[in-house]
A and B are shown apart, each in its own frame.
Chain A
Amino acid sequence: MINSLFLINASGDIFLEKHWKSVVSRSVCDYFLEAKEKALEPEDVPPVIHTPHHYLISIYRDKLFFLSVIQTEVPPLFVIEFLHRVAEMIQDYFGECSETVVKDNMVMVYELLEEMLDNGFPLATESNVLKEMIRPPTILRSVVNTLTGTSNVGDTLPTGQLSTIPWRRAGVKYTNNEAYFDVVEEIDAILDQSGTTVFAEIQGVVEACVKLSGMPDLTLSFMNPRLLDDVSFHPCVRYKRWESERVLSFIPPDGNFTLMTYHVNAQNLVAIPVYVKQSISFFESGSGGRLDVTVGPKQTMGKTVEGVVVTVHLPKTILSINLTATQGSYTYDNGTKLLVWDIGKLNPQKLPNLRGSLSLQAGAPKPEENPSLNIDLKIQQLAISGLKVNRLDMFGEKYKPFKGVKYITKAGKFQVRT
């Protein structure tokens, strides 16, 4: 099982180590650092590295590497999933996941890691169980603690730990009982030069924020559940009910959680909300080229497309650019050759356009690669797949909760080739 964990920052400094079995010298990280040196980008470091005596499995998140050391055959996905939980736990406890935050809360992070694994076996990874064992820091609590001398460590067994619903603690109490659900859909798409869809799918997720007293038993149903190609659920969802009735029936965890994720990839169903007309061309002579990009709305179901941003990785040989945008503004970083055009809201009457000239470094040949455009966008109050929540019912408690559903569509990996 998992032997050790090292936290390493982007420049390669190890700033935390935790061992669940015998201590593994931190020199083992050298193999990883070597691989990191070789990789062009931190994202490109291979996640599984083989060293003579250990395996190093790492993830890169929030500009930090979470590196685990294992010695025996352990399912790598298990380790990777766990590492993501560690990152989420830090995020959850301290509001952000960064080197500074970890360093500022070193002891608590260390205590938390100790609670999460025992001898490399996961012990408590559910956030609400952890929070009962070690209370997250709040300003109020630290003041109280200093005054009264009480500690952040709970001294009774967390209630959720052993029940069949480990994700919920008993005795939750709220004055305002409320349950909110956000249906967030991301469009992953590749469009070719002519605007034809090469590939498109929708990754959807239902995020929930449930603050209900007692042990509520919820049932959420959709108008059109057959739309979903594949679903994966939070452990609280009763799979049998879904199989037979296509409704989500569950006793929710307390607070924020991801209820389900799904994807829709029947291609003709995926509406592409914008179109992009672009031409990036270079003169045969090799001295420069032209760029001309126009973005317009396509299938938006009558909603406004906002937050449109076009990102282009220009070829390395570009010397400078001279562009004009009819809407929004653009920035260009000559170091990374990254052109970012922030458009904002799309106005169907007046399409935003960015055009101008590119000049190449003297003597550089005509670039071979075609830069591709990454599009970012946002549509409020629309789930682009057409998924709609039908109703939410609550059983098991007597009060009347306040309920709300919100839809939002975003661009995921939305790419236009040139």
Chain B
Amino acid sequence: MTDSKYFTTTKKGEIFELKAELNSDKKEKKKEAVKKVIASMTVGKDVSALFPDVVNCMQTDNLELKKLVYLYLMNYAKSQPDMAIMAVNTFVKDCEDANPLIRALAVRTMGCIRVDKITEYLCEPLRKCLKDEDPYVRKTAAVCVAKLHDINAQLVEDQGFLDTLKDLISDSNPMVVANAVAALSEIAESHPNSNLLDLNPQSINKLLTALNECTEWGQIFILDCLANYTPRDDRESQSICERVTPRLSHANSAVVLSAVKVLMKFMEMLPKDLDYYGTLLKKLAPPLVTLLSAEPELQYVALRNINLIVQKRPEILKHEMKVFFVKYNDPIYVKLEKLDIMIRLASQANIAQVLAELKEYATEVDVDFVRKAVRAIGRCAIKVEQSAERCVSTLLDLIQTKVNYVVQEAIVVIKDIFRKYPNKYESVIATLCENLDSLDEPEARAAMIWIVGEYAERIDNADELLESFLEGFHDESTQVQLQLLTAIVKLFLKKPTETQELVQQVLSLATQDSDNPDLRDRGYIYWRLLSTDPVAAKEVVLAEKPLISEETDLIEPTLLEELICHIGTLASVYHKPPSAFVEGSRGVMHKRLPARTGSGESTESPDVGTAAGGSAPEAAPSIIPSQGDLLGDLLNLDMAPPTTSGPPPPTTGMQMGGMDLLGGGLDSLLGGDLGGSPAMGAGFGAAPAVMPASLNAPVGGGLGDLFDLGGGVGMPMGAYIPPKIVWLPAMKAKGLEISGTFARRAGVIQMELILTNKAMSIMTDFAIQFNRNSFGLAPAGPLQVLTPLGPNQTIEVSLPLSTVGPVMKMDPLNNLQVAVKNNIDVFYFSCQYPISMLFVEDGKMERQVFLATWKDIPNDNESQFQIKDCHLNSDAASSKLQGSNIFTIAKRTVEGQDMLYMSIKLSNGIWVLAELRVQAGNPNYTISLKCRAPEVSQCVFQCYEAVLKN
């Protein structure tokens, strides 16, 4: 006889029949009836109408019947709260039963009934059960506290259950400890700051003892809890690691992975030269490999985590490439993950093997997998330079197969290879062009168009090719349209004579017929550039592009660190911090890897900063986004919009707005060059030409939008303006006294002068001229002193400055020699301007670019300074500096020391990167500056000091 009999029905109706049976006198019949009810419940039928009848069966000595009734109660009590009260008495009585199984069962079931009235009655029995003599009851009660907390958190706190729960961590029974930890962890999740799991060396010791003796599930809870602890020093860290390593041999993969998490985290604190560190590294590999022989679902989670681990510590698995080789009957989700890890592990030593595998995969059946394999070949080429040639020839072989999606993928990755190794493999362009017609995916089309545009001078019929794309311009996706626009402009700049018509056609398509603002804006900008200054246009559009880096898709170091702390969790599967997706995790605390603090080592030593989390810039990998960001790189407009919006200051008006637009636009266009282009960092000569003449350009309807944008460059806080000082004393200038200062207002550099006539005669005909200077500062207009200056009269003038004047390096760098003329004579004086007024508004670097650039600049260019007696905290400092266009890009806190990473861009395109360390309570800041032109560091430092102290 099987349970399917419970589903048979009779004519009278199921419910009616069941009711009769439930009220039967015979125990057996009753039990059968309850079973039928439960059976209906399990398949989702509503049997709540039988509530009173079922509850009546509750008072019984038969444990099975009791359990069945409890099952029913848990399911339906919520829908019948008043009826559920009927059950309370039995529960309370059962909590006093002599049999621990029944006591535990009662308290456990009561906790599952989510009815307020019942929870009130639960408190007393629960309190007793938490102190029960039987550990089985205590461990059940521990979980019950978590249940109750879920229903009524306040009640749990008021009743002091949390403290009792904390006491259970010291229980003599390991199972009770494990459950208490699990319950506390779950409660803590909804109370991130409650300090529930206050871990100290004593409690850690207790947990470690319990770890050896409790069930596999308990081990998971304890390990996850341990992972939240930060050991005091490397010795404690090592001793915990030693006690956790045996868990790596557990049959339960979740235990293994939780142990890996603890080890990965605590390893961070161990000095790398320690023997134990090496031993630990060696011990980690085999269990990770073993996880890959488990069921596919487990493999998947393991692979997602291994992906993080190989990014953080590639040395662990560097010899294990082969276990990631894809098996033909792996599920697709496992295949894709394995492929990803293979690329991460690819190195010169194993690249031949990897390529052979990838080529094999590219002939498999599964389209998604094949695509990813082709892409992987491209990534190998970019990652392992020595293999690039082989990769390209492999890709060409694949293109020869003419399989449509293979060809398209191959073209997309060849584009990336071109960007990594310019002028090396262009011989293959001919082959690529043969496949032009078969491309139907936007990404592949865009890539191909980019190639044609970029190498237009080598492709004889580039104009024809591009023209053929232009025919269906409006049917293309935005990606392709934007690319086509840029490519044709490039073509025009390279072969202006033959392609004038084409470029006009595309500009008018983009600006007039398109309603996509990005396309329109870019069209206008090109149009403007081309019509005003083709030379500048050439410099902008055909500028040397930054090389894309191998680590295009590495996880950003800070995120990686956080994810390492979350190994084995959902966050590690999604590669997102828990705060990004876990519902109800109010203000999840961001976890950080602990910093390495050797027992005798001082936190001040610069070495610690580097080791601290691997994310210190030196240690960080260089990243420039490449995939899909091609367009962004070419025209950095999308990436560096003006920082704030808001009404333009009244003084600037339309004219200034116009200037800003182009200034800003050009800067960001050139900004795309940062780091990679030698032209940029080389010297002071390469100032971008900002053409006030461009104001005369036709202002189309679309340009209005742009002006708004450009005019909106406001500042969140006033920039630092030094007090006015006397530059030219009256004695030396026949009665003319000039004092002044420099300011940057709304993106315009101004020289603010006070002219005082201390002579007896009237002064007229003022004019001003600058000598050549380091940053090409020059008056942007005449000195506006309209009325004659009478004796003892004072006038304030402000003179807008541009940075396009002639350049000559001065000493000191920020020295400015000025000549002022009036009707009496010509006077000369020199003054020093704060370099901060040259900091432009779009000096905020992308995080990743920052890391790459920081790494790229040689260490010799780094200079360190101390700023003394500054009492701001790091946030205040950061916002103050922001006012002067010194942008904080990232902030990290290590050991109570805030590290602010900042970028500054000078008006001539020089970038200065800074790291500011602020220790709470210490008024002395340390600042490190890195710049390709190290001469500016001293001046920049002075600005920091001036800004921070004012």
A residues contacting B by CB (< 8 A) are 1, 14-23, 26, 39-41, 43-44, 46-48, 50, 53, 55, 57-61, 71-78, 80-81, 84, 103-111, 114, 118-119, 121-122, 125-126, 142, 149, 151-157, 161-162, 164, 166, 188, 190, 192, 198-199, 201, 203, 229-235, 239-240, 242-243, 258, 260-261, 263, 265, 267, 313, 316, 368-370, 372, 374, 413, 415, 417
Contacts and interface: CB of A to CB of B under 8 A. Distances in A.
B140 interface: yes
Contact of B570 (A14, A46, A76, A239): A76
B42 A17 contact: yes
Given A151-B62, A199-B322, A76 B31 contact: no
A111 B257 contact: no
B75 A23 contact: yes
A198 to B, nearest CB: 7
B360 A417 contact: yes
A104 to B, nearest CB: 4
A158 B63 CA distance: 14
Lowest 8 CB-CB distances: which A-B pairs, in order?
A230-B286, A104-B2, A153-B64, A77-B254, A151-B64, A47-B297, A122-B217, A78-B254
Contacts of B289: 229-230, 263, 265
B173 A162 contact: yes
A190 B356 CA distance: 13
Contact of A53 (B140, B363, B583): B583
A39 B333 CA distance: 10
Interface of B: 1-4, 6, 27-28, 31, 35, 38-39, 42-44, 62-65, 67-68, 71, 75, 78, 99-101, 108, 111-112, 114, 134-136, 140, 143-144, 146-147, 150, 173-175, 179, 182-183, 186, 189, 213, 215-217, 220, 224, 246, 249-254, 256-258, 286-287, 289-290, 293, 295-298, 300-302, 322-323, 325, 327-329, 331-333, 357, 360, 363-366, 401, 403, 568-571, 573-574, 578, 581-585
A91 to B, nearest CB: 14
B101 A44 contact: no
B147 A119 contact: yes
Contacts of A260: 251
A166 to B, nearest CB: 6
The binding surface of chain B is classed by DSSP as helix
A228 to B, nearest CB: 9
Contacts of B217: 78, 121-122, 125
25 contacts: A17-B43, A21-B112, A39-B332, A44-B332, A73-B571, A76-B301, A77-B254, A77-B298, A81-B252, A81-B253, A105-B3, A108-B3, A119-B111, A119-B147, A121-B182, A121-B183, A125-B215, A126-B215, A151-B31, A153-B67, A155-B101, A157-B136, A199-B322, A233-B249, A233-B250
Contacts of A372: 328
A59 B108 contact: no
Contacts of A198: 322, 325, 357
The binding surface of chain A is classed by DSSP as mixed
Contacts of B298: 77, 80-81
A71 B582 CA distance: 8
A196 to B, nearest CB: 11
A107 B220 contact: no
A151 to B, nearest CB: 4
Given A125-B217, A166-B215, A369 B583 contact: no
Nearest to A17: B44
B286 A73 contact: no
A21 B114 CA distance: 9
Nearest to B218: A122
Contact of B175 (A14, A162, A234, A267): A162
B43 A71 contact: no
Contacts of A265: 289, 322-323
B317 to A, nearest CB: 13
A77 B27 contact: no
Given A80-B295, A81-B254, A161-B136, A103 B4 contact: yes
A153 B250 CA distance: 31
A75 B569 contact: yes
A190 B325 contact: yes
Nearest to B300: A47
A93 B626 CA distance: 55
B220 A369 contact: no
Contacts of B1: 142
B220 A75 contact: yes
A125 B134 CA distance: 20
A48 B27 contact: no
Given A76-B569, A125-B215, A162-B136, 7 more contacts: A75-B568, A156-B101, A188-B327, A230-B290, A233-B251, A239-B246, A413-B327
Contacts of B296: 43, 47
A318 to B, nearest CB: 13
A313 B39 CA distance: 43
Interface centre among A118, A313, A316 (most CB of B within 10 A): A118
A231 B290 CA distance: 8
Contacts of A203: 293
Contact of B64 (A21, A58, A75, A152): A152
Contact of A155 (B39, B63, B332): B63
Contacts of A78: 217, 220, 254
